[in-house]
Amino acid sequence: MSLARRCSRTACGRTAVNTLTYVYADQTAVLGPLAIYAEPHAYDLCDVHSERLSAPRGWEVLRLAPDPSTQGPSSDDLLALADAVREAARPIERPAPPRPVDHGGDDPRHGTKRGHLRVLSND
């Protein structure tokens, strides 16, 4: 089972390598490296559809090149992953159960006290 995201274009089964977003206020289409998380208003595109991309008339296409220094996991990513694993491995601390309330002895009008329950007599 592959966790890679697929191209958003209909009937394309290739692996996505870029993410396309639109900045409507600036009339700009931004094509950059694949986003870490899939966003509902972004489109993941394969290399073929990334190259063929065109924007509406009057719009600018801004193509962001991937930063080579960010390729692969960084030491910060690995530390964050190690911290997450340690956190998940910690035992869950459960609160202590409540203690029974001491009512100061048996009251013959209410029956005999047995722990937190009382046995009522038919008298």
Segments forming the whole domain that contains residue 40: 18-89
Is 95 a member of any domain?
no
Is 118 a member of any domain?
no
Is 11 a member of any domain?
no
Is 42 a member of any domain?
yes
Q: How confident is the model at residue 57, as a pLDDT?
A: 93
Kindly tell me if the per-residue pLDDT of 31 is higher than 60: yes
Instruction: Output b/e per residue, 51-88; b: 16+ Cβ within 10 A.
Output: eeeebeeeeeeeeeeeeeeeeeeeeeeeeeeeeeeeee
Number of domains in the chain: 1
- Dist CA 1 CA 120 (whole Å): 64
Is 94 a member of any domain?
no
Q: What is the mean pLDDT of residues 92-102?
A: 73
Which has more confidence, 104 or 27?
27
Q: What is the mean pLDDT of residues 45-69?
A: 87
Q: In Å, how far from its chain's centre is CA 30?
A: 24
Kindly state the percentage of the chain with pLDDT values over 70.
69
Q: Whole-model pTM?
A: 0.52
CB within 8 Å of 63: residues ≥ 6 apart: 31, 32
